Chains A and B, each alone.
Chain A
Amino acid sequence: MDFLTDPWAWWVEPFSDNPFMQRALLAGFLAVLSTSVVGTWVVLRGLSFLGDALAHGVLPGIAVAFILGGSVTLGALLAALAMVGGISAIRNLSPLRDDSAIGLLFVGMLALGVVILSRQSGSYVGDLSRLLFGSVTGIGGNDLLRSGITAAVSLGGVLLFHRPFMALTFDETQARLLGMRPRLAHFALLVLIANSIVASLQVVGTLLVFALLVGPPATAWLLVRRVPLMMAVAVLLGWLATYVGILVSFHHDTAAGATMALCSVGLFLAVLFGRALAQQGRKAMQRRGAKRPKGAHSPDGPAPIRSAANESNPT
């Protein structure tokens, strides 16, 4: 209960005392900025499966980069772009529905990653788990710069393509007739998804990045019903989840990435149930409000029992 009894020490001191925590928080916030705005379109367009597949499909790129000692970010980005290209190609060439195309590539890429890694000795395992689950506490200045750039790309892309994305969500055919280029817009969205996934690799890792991509926007959708507002709320919710996640991880020594992911999903469930409860409550209030005029002399007191009693023996 430290977070209540000694809030300063629980909520703030970890950051004021530890530069690595500051960097972790900043990296988390930048990743959320990227994933939440792009994730909003993922959620609205029903591309969650694609997002998930992309998140996991970057594995072979990471593996190859690892083995060759190159930039992991670059490897992941190339793998993601290869996958985006592959999905678009299958989409255009076959009558298959998108989900089959995505699923095939997803499992193919994952398998490829595992095959590449299985040829190597066990010395990578520790490093690899960092990539699978993130290593937010080991973030350096360069990583922050990269996160900043990817976040800027995501924001810029979302601003630039706002209208086409909107129309695409509305109706692809109509978008084309309105003079937009829906294929191009769709491809741009895929690239933005890949970008934001790569941006958050270091924070939550490939296996959990999905939680940041879909969690906050999905939660935001429960609360607001305008796209720009959804994005803003998603960012705030994502920041909340990251902040709490990092702190829980710090105080209780849990895996940082996983804790953040858990917070993100937990937040969604909390809002979902909270909303359902609020709706129930509102309905109950309305029912009572409707009945009140009949139950003539029932003031503000403990109304439920009395009005129920009134009703059970009508005069």
Chain B
Amino acid sequence: MKFPRPSPPASNAGVKVRAGTVSEVREDAGVRVRAGAVPEVRAEKLCVEFGVVRALENLSFALRPGSLTAVIGPNGSGKTTLLMVLAGLLQPSSGSIGRRSSVAYMPHQNGHGAPIPLIVAEVLVMGLYRRLGNYRRMSAAERERLTLAAERLEVADLMRRQFSEISSGQRQRVLMAQTLLQQADLVLLDEPITGLDLASRRRIMDVMSAECGRGAAVVFSTHHLDEARHGDQVLMLDNRLVAKGPPEDVLTKENLETLYGERVIHGAPDCDHPADRLLVLDEHAHGRRLETAQQTTLQ
């Protein structure tokens, strides 16, 4: 099931979407996106080395405004490194990335177990810092945007809770809402759907495509091939670019075998092909969770 873009999704099986949310954003986008206003981000021959470890080798790709890019690859393949380089948190050892105007970056699994007294609302307000600066108070419109972002990620009822005390899935959604509020041109999300339940995953996928609709270039890393298929572009990493392009060209048996080959074959009983197995497994899991989700909604 493909997330339709740029037109709003017609059906959202199993997931309740607040009426109007997505289309509102689209309208918003219509005002904001001027054709050609935001140039595409071009990475040329990016290399990143950590001492002797070559985390990334010779990556070249482009990120168009309004496009969704999925980065996939096994553990240690350089996904996080790539996002950090794109965010400007890490300098590439060689190669170049074009100028990026504004960047939002959502780190994977924020390890904020440290019990600092900070409530969810305060975390969200941080997302407005570029607008508010050090001391300006939120205007009514900004307050509304904050509420809207919280509602879109279903964290509105967590606003007064301590950030350190909510679950990691809830934290991820809060950080996603914070990311939305930044209205950046380049939105980088490190494993935004890892560890989330089906409904939250769908919700985040929706929000990501809405961000694209707004004109942002969205890049997310993931281990979920199913969600990766919703990208306009997939970058397949294994410390180098194994493949890039539209999902149907990249997520092929051959490529997946190169990437996951042995690991999958070992774990899979009687299966013709590792890639099938991988995709089928993913679908199965997806389907099962969908059923469970629907049952729960019915109760």
Residues of A within 8 A of B (CB): 44, 159-164, 166-167, 169-171, 173-174, 176-180, 221, 224-227, 230
Contacts and interface: CB of A to CB of B under 8 A. Distances in A.
Contact of B116 (A161, A169, A176): A169
B129 A179 contact: yes
Given A171-B110, A174-B107, A162 B134 contact: yes
Interface in B84-116: 87, 89, 103-105, 107, 110, 112, 116
Interface of B is mostly: mixed
B89 A173 contact: yes
A170 B89 CA distance: 17
Contacts of A227: 117-118
Interface in B132-170: 132, 134-135, 162-163
Contacts of B130: 178-179
Contacts of A230: 117
Interface of B: 87, 89, 103-105, 107, 110, 112, 116-119, 122-123, 125-127, 129-130, 132, 134-135, 162-163, 182
Given A173-B89, A227-B117, A167 B126 contact: yes
A162 B116 CA distance: 15
Contact of B123 (A170, A221, A224): A170
A31 B116 CA distance: 25
A178 B135 contact: no
A159 B137 CA distance: 12
Contacts of B110: 171
A63 B179 CA distance: 51
A201 B163 CA distance: 37
Contacts of B89: 173, 176-177
Nearest to B162: A225
B103 A44 contact: no
Contacts of B112: 170-171
B22 to A, nearest CB: 26
B134 A221 contact: no
Given A170-B123, A171-B110, A225-B162, A163 B129 contact: yes
20 contacts: A44-B117, A162-B134, A163-B125, A163-B132, A166-B122, A167-B129, A169-B116, A170-B116, A170-B126, A170-B163, A173-B107, A176-B89, A177-B87, A178-B130, A180-B129, A224-B117, A225-B162, A226-B117, A227-B118, A230-B117
B104 A177 contact: yes
A166 B162 contact: no
Nearest to B133: A163
A23 B266 CA distance: 80
B268 to A, nearest CB: 38
Contacts of A225: 117, 162
B175 to A, nearest CB: 9
A36 to B, nearest CB: 15
Nearest to A177: B105
A177 B129 CA distance: 10
Given A162-B134, A163-B134, A169 B107 contact: no
Contacts of A166: 118, 122, 126
Contacts of B87: 177
A178 B107 contact: no
Contacts of A163: 125-126, 129, 132, 134-135
B135 to A, nearest CB: 7
B164 to A, nearest CB: 10
B176 to A, nearest CB: 13
B134 A226 contact: no
A271 to B, nearest CB: 16
A171 B116 CA distance: 11
Contacts of B129: 163, 167, 178-180
Given A160-B135, A173-B89, A174-B105, 19 more contacts: A162-B135, A163-B129, A166-B118, A166-B122, A166-B126, A170-B116, A170-B118, A170-B163, A171-B107, A171-B112, A176-B89, A177-B89, A178-B127, A178-B129, A179-B129, A179-B130, A225-B162, A227-B117, A227-B118
Contacts of B182: 178
Nearest to A185: B134
Nearest to B115: A225
Nearest to A166: B122
A230 B119 CA distance: 13
